[in-house]
A and B are shown apart, each in its own frame.
Chain A
Amino acid sequence: MADTITVSNVTKEYGTAVKTKALRGVSFRVAGKEFLSIIGQSGSGKSTLLNLLGLLDRPTEGSVSLLGTDVGALSKKERAAFRNRHLGFVFQFHHLLPEFSVRENLLIPTWIGGSKGAAGVPAETRKRAEEILDFLGVGQVADKSAEQISGGQKQRVAIGRALMNSPDILLADEPTGNLDTENSALVYDLFRRIHREMGTTFVIVTHDRAIAQQTDRIIEVRDGLVSQDVQNEYLDGRGGSSK
């Protein structure tokens, strides 16, 4: 079976006149359904890397393959469709659409992906939305406007939205950067359960080592290069081992 993620010698330069090299030759593989974190200081290139994995940007050099597809070969439209079909996003900010209800926010990715748009959402999709809302503990606010719920609830709805199209890979950039400790813990518990129950691969960007310690693998980025890539067996009580 193809790798979930293959990143080969990826560089990324920003700017035309004054060039910033955000990534300077990054390579790593994710073979199966992993639960990993990308850690590094602010400005080290984490978000740049995640945007490349999320097909939101293209590398200057090198290649990215997702689920056996060389995504560099895809057109802009195909990349958008690939995002909708295979990827889920959770950002630091929930980015819910205030014009829509909680339930509708969940359905938006299926509307975008559906051939009939918003018109014909099949009953099983509606059922899935209810299940996800219940799973995330926000079923009781499904009919409220996305503005009327608490910050922790908003981020859980955003996670639900990322899950709606059953993504193979969920990409999260500082997903708890805006939440208090209690809500952060809740979000990581949810991520774990989703990984376990739905088999979704997680790539979580964080600058917080304590959070990274809760994932199975930690890729550390420093000045645009992978400085460390370790399996984290701390959780199993066997201690970390260098790879």
Chain B
Amino acid sequence: MAGRAGQKKYINLYIAIAILLLFPLFLPRFYIYLISIILLYGLLATSLNIVLGYGGIFQFHHAVFYGVGAYGIALVLTKTGFPPWIGFIIGPLISAALSLIMGLICIRLSKLYFGMLQISLGSLVWAIVYRWYSFTGGDDGIHGIPIPELLQSPNGAYYFTLIITVISMWLMYKIIKSPFGSVLQGIRDNPVRSEMIGVNVKKHQLLGLVIAGFFAGVAGMVFVVVDNTVFPDMMFWTFSLEVLIMCLLGGWFSFLGPMLGAAVVVALRTFVSTFTVYWALVLGIIMILVIFFLPNGILGYVEEIIKRRSQTGSTIKG
């Protein structure tokens, strides 16, 4: 029974991926770009959710790792003669390294203080990028980044985004379902008890942070491929809050929640702003409603309903 249910779940997944693969055949360019953005923001939000929803860590400034990953590849491609693939590897690795360093500094603080120290360290990184005109392009950023020819066409960039996103999501899913993932959730629920069952809490949290930072860097790298630009606002703290919102809207206790949240935010911004300049107002009101009525997010709510249905169903049968 459970096995068949599992298979059915995967069938939905395969269908979804197949549809995503076919999109470029009939959708206009603009939508292909839009879906790329949704996928990579979803990837970014999911990476945040590893430490936020599953790890219970107040990662307030996740965008820094995204931005640093993007700048990493951008700088390799524009300032060095290295072959491009090095940039694609270096971007995420720099993010992971930064995540490790910031994690080592912040990890001894808990909750809100962790978040605050992270915001100040992140702002420090932002400020350096923002002002270092000769190296990072300062507040202008870097435009027209020369990416490999294969990825220059919109469809090339789209397929690249899709493949990288699917692989990353699959890896993150494995990690969440692994023993390490279980322990991370245990730490979220009860750090004291986790120590008492033999878990070195800080070390596990640190690895969680590094993984989250790495995949944020992957998302940053994908953004460079899709948009060919980097700019300091990518790592401004308001963007971090936006990513937090994606997790909240979709539901941070569901694996695909952040992806859904990213889709909602991007769609809102694109479509609401075609008929009003006040899309932030709409987003704000939606968020307030979600916080009041769906504290587990949209997907969390749907899952709850499905669970309740299946439970009443089984009691009737039983």
Q: Is chain B a partner of chain A in the same complex?
A: no
